[in-house]
Structure 1
Amino acid sequence: MSGLLNGVKVVELASWTYVPSAGAALADWGADVIKVEDTRGGDPCRNLVVGGLDGTGTPVQANFMMEIGNHGKRSVGIDIKSEQGRAIFGKLIADADVFLTNWLPAVLERAGLTVETIREFNPRIIIARGSGHGSRGPHKDRGGFDGASYTARAGVAYALTPTNAEFPMAQGPAFGDLQGGITLAGGISAALFARERTGHAAIVDSSLLAQGMWAVAPDIAAADYYDIDRIPAGEAGTALNPAVNRYRTRDNRWVQMMLLQADRYWAGFCERIGRADLATDERFVPLANLVANTEAATIELRKTFAEHDLEHWQKALVDEPGVWATIASPQEVLDDPQVTANGYLMTVTDSAGNDYRTVTAPVQFDETPAPPTRAPEYGEHTETVLLELGMEWDDIIAAKESGAIL
């Protein structure tokens, strides 16, 4: 079953991708996630343009960033700053299991949504907060995006930038957000479990800064142990172990080798690539010699891989027991048979009947993929959700006319 969280209700007051992606994961796992959006425009991610991809040039009537972080949810439009809107929001919270937000502490306080106030609505609700820099300290109210809080401040860019690079490593869109979101979803699940066991409704906190530090924890630990900036790394294209490196093929593709136990795999690997001579070359055996002569070994492997196209190497290495992989393009990942077999993509149909694919949360239960669901339109479920709360049509109409809801 994929719906382990069936019956769990999450009220999400969050925008962009980091915290909303936690809500998407919870929805994939069966939770009813109600996304509360402001009546003055909703989540700004709905209008986000990434890489100049503004919706033209594709028949799909959906924003791909919104789909990733919001599929499976229901959207309601509420002005929680109005008296009527706040009362409706209180009704939502009253029978929810989780309140999920990326609003900063000072903003929550100004909105009258402190922990104490939320618990007045519902003493058993789990409060989950995701921020740029954590809920305490001098920068708790400083906004954050993953490019700054995760990649830059947490040390990720510094740790992953080759020593000879002119510019620091740059991340792709939502790179830290999505890692942080799945971590936050896991924390919420743990809090739900603890509440069932003990009755205690925990406050769950995570941040992009914490997630980035976790991503490069080995470098941070080594920095403390050895009083260095990071784990030593060579120039781009080099590695301390030449059997753990990337090699360019004749058709300008790349093969990533990960023979961490080189002594175990080296001889067979050399035979498979047609270089049995390297397996007996005293410069490269045992492993200590291979590492000592890494530059010479790397030159030999570069020359060998450059002699054939990627297709040749995929066939030559098909039975290689050591770990390796083609450096795939995102377009190739769409049609990876292993991706298909495991249901890592869901196929959804837009309002015009066009199919499109989006990535599901990276955790499944009982080998069952999440059911395909799209992201909600802005305020799409406002009336439905309010009727579920017991509101009458006359009250809903009045709230619409006053601007308290969409």
Structure 2
Amino acid sequence: MDDRSYQSAASADEADGSAEGVLSGIKVLDLSRVVAGPLAGQTLADLGADVIKIERVGDGDDLRTLGPPWVTSPTTDLEQSTYFQTVNRGKHSLTLDFSQPEGAEILRELAKEADVLIENFRTGTLDRYGLGYGDLKAINPGLIFCSITGFGQSGPYADRSGYDYLVQAMGGQMAVTGLPEGMTGAGPMRVGVPIADITAGNNAVIGILSALLHREKSGTGQHIDIALLDSQVALLLNSLSAWLNARAPLPRTGNDHPTAVPNGVFAVKDGHILIATFNDREFARLAEVLEHPEWATDPKYARSRDRLANRRELTRDMTEALSHHDKQHWMNAINNAKVSCGPINDMGDIERDEQLFERGMFVTLEHPVMGEVRVVGSPLKFSDTPVIYPKAPPLAGEDTETILKERLTLTDQDIQGLRAKKVV
């Protein structure tokens, strides 16, 4: 394997924890599990926030066991899912049973000094333990309390649980994804990554950062209500706008763009490439490269709406033109003409991509038990306050004693008593 694909934390300062990100000094309690909430917490950690991940006593976050595949310890029989590693770097882990009075009190004490709390329990769960927004606001008026649920804190679905796949179905994603009607295999199709979870997590970060800015002005925190369904529906953009404004649903088009032509997968001599044009000027440049400059003035192809009406004929003509050379030839020629073109990469191709390597998108973190853990770097790039990677994804509860001693000044005897009752 190409050694270039291994990249350690960006600097020695970051590795030893001395670097500070843009959110340095912000304290976050991350009570969330699985994907959306943990992703939000990880993003805040990347930006320099001090994030404590509060997990269930015992196994911790459900995502730890959602495998295979696994990251395995080189020295023990311990294994953790590779999925868990994607959304939990940079955090400290405290296991806590807040359903017990002692556990709830520990959480309240931590919340007194916290800036942000993230949770994704079913609506009303934390209220039952005196840990809802109203309860914690009373002891910390500046607290920013972010709830992430399937359907939000209000509305007829508020008490339902909701996972990404379900929300992709209910939120229209599957209606616009998949092969066109009439083709073999046509029908609704989910997106291959948890797109609703990812978007909800990113929306949570936007909300939290906005609330932090508001607190700077007002001195008060607030409750942020993020729903996977809301986040998914907001992603529909032109598909939903076409219906809302023209009552014209855009059909499933598989690998073809519903409105921009040509924009999709094309066969070449040794495989396939992706070509994307979004205006008539780009198409004219593409036609020149394909040695058919007459297409730019052909009434069938000259305008975007003409190409859309004659998509099949244009695809046939382009496929014939592209068949004479291989992928590398066409990627060079088409990109040189300032038209978007690229390969269809698998995971190995992505790992070897020189652009991604140069952008620092692969990072190797060291964990004292799990050894090397490779993670995808943050897409956020700052000139003055770079993203930091101070800590590999933790084991469940690996920082429990340190947090209880340093944050709450509990003694060894206190902690031993809490462990005996399985509070921590």
Distance of 2:297 and 2:246 partners within structure 1: 36
Q: CA RMSD in A?
A: 2.6
Which of residues 341, 359, 379 in structure 2 aligns to 1:324? 341
Tell me what 1:154 maps to: 171
- For the 8 Å contact 2:275–2:341, the answer to whether it is kept is yes
Deviates more, 1:344-353 or 1:219-228: 344-353
Q: State the partner residue of 1:300.
A: 317
SS of the residue 2:380 aligns to: coil
Residue 96 of structure 1 aligns to a residue whose secondary structure is coil
2:241 corresponds to 1:221: yes
Among the aligned pairs, what percent are the same residue?
Answer: 26
Deviation of 1:81 after TM superposition, in Å, equals: 1.4
Gaps of 5+ in 2: 1-18
- 1:116 corresponds to which residue? 134
1:98 counterpart = 2:116: yes
Change (3 A) 1:304 1:373: farther
Name the structure 1 match of 2:161: 143
Residues 69-78 or 286-295, more deviating: 286-295
In structure 2, C-alpha distance between the alignment counterparts of 1:361 and 1:402, rounded to whole Å: 39
Separation of aligned partners in 1, 2:371 and 2:320? 46
Cα distance between partner residues in 2 of 1:2 and 1:398: 36
1:25 matched to 2:43: yes
Deviation at 1:398, TM superposition (A): 1.9
Change (3 A) 1:2 1:323: farther
Q: Is 1:199 paired with 2:216?
A: no
| Contact 2:148/2:204 (8 A) holds in 1 | yes
Is the aligned partner of 1:189 residue 2:209? yes
Q: Give SS of 1:16's match.
A: coil
Q: Look up the equivalent residue of 1:203 and give its one-letter code.
A: H
Decide whether the 8 Å contact of 1:273 with 1:316 is kept in 2.
no
Q: For residue 335 of structure 1, report the CA deviation from its aligned partner.
A: 2.5
**C-alpha distance in 2, partners of 1:132/1:104?**
8
> Given the two structures, how large is their TM-score scaled by the length of structure 1?
0.90
Retained in 1: the 8 A contact 2:48–2:387?
A: no
Moved more, 267-276 or 191-200: 267-276
Q: 1:327 to 1:124 in 2, by over 3 A?
A: same
Query: Could you say if the C-alpha distance between residues 277 and 343 of structure 1 is closer, same or farther in structure 2, counting changes exceeding 3 Å?
Result: same
Q: 1:140 to 1:355 in 2, by over 3 A?
A: same
Cα deviations by residue, 1:297-344 (Å, 9 ceiling, x for unpaired): 111112233333322222222312122332222322222222222223
- Letter of the structure 1 residue corresponding to residue 109 of structure 2: K
User: Aligned pair count?
Assistant: 399
Q: Secondary structure at the match of 2:170?
A: coil
- Indicate the larger mover: 351-360 or 242-251: 351-360
Alpha-carbon spacing, 1:249–1:369, altered in 2? closer, same or farther (3 Å):
farther
Deviation at 1:36, TM superposition (A): 0.7
Q: Is the 8 A contact 1:159 1:219 kept in 2?
A: yes
Helix, strand or coil at the partner of 1:157: coil
Structure 2 distance, partners of 1:241, 1:154, is 24
In the other structure, the counterpart of 1:244 is: 263
The 5-angstrom pairing of residues 3-402 of structure 1 reads 3-49=21-67, 52-54=68-70, 62-149=80-167, 151-164=168-181, 165-228=185-248, 230-232=249-251, 234=253, 237=256, 240-253=259-272, 255-262=273-280, 264-276=281-293, 278-279=295-296, 281-351=298-368, 355-366=372-383, 368-371=386-389, 373-389=391-407, 390-402=409-421
Q: TM-score, normalised by structure 2?
A: 0.86
- Is the contact between residue 248 and residue 305 of structure 1 (CA under 8 Å) also seen in structure 2? yes
Return the offset for 1:146. Answer: 0.8
Say if 1:251 and 1:310, in contact at 8 Å, map to a contact too.
yes
Secondary structure of 1:333's aligned partner: helix
What secondary structure sits across from 1:36 in the alignment?
Answer: strand
Q: How many angstroms does 1:352 deviate by?
A: 6.4
- CA 1:125–1:347: 2 relative to 1, 3 Å: same
SS at match of 1:106: coil
Per-residue deviation, 1:236? 5.6
Q: Distance in 2 between matches of 1:343 and 1:206?
A: 30
Give the AA of the match of 1:145: Y
- Structure 1 CA distance for aligned equivalents of residues 260 and 238 of structure 2: 18
Partner Cα distance (1:166, 1:293) in 2: 21
CA distance in 1, matches of 2:305, 2:108: 65
Q: Deviations over 1:148-199 (max 9, x none)?
A: 12x1111111022333243311222433212221221111011011101111
Distance in 2 (CA, whole Å) between partners of 1:72 and 1:183 is 20
Would you say the 8 A contact 1:2–1:364 is kept in 2? no
| CA shift in 2, pair 1:166/1:232, >3 Å | closer
In structure 1, the residue corresponding to 2:266 is in which secondary structure?
strand
Task: Check the 8 A contact 1:180/1:211 in 2, yes or no.
Answer: yes
- Structure 1 residues not aligned, in runs of 5+: none
Residue 256 of structure 1 and its aligned partner are, at CA, apart by 2.1
Change (3 A) 1:9 1:269: same
Deviation at 1:279, TM superposition (A): 4.3
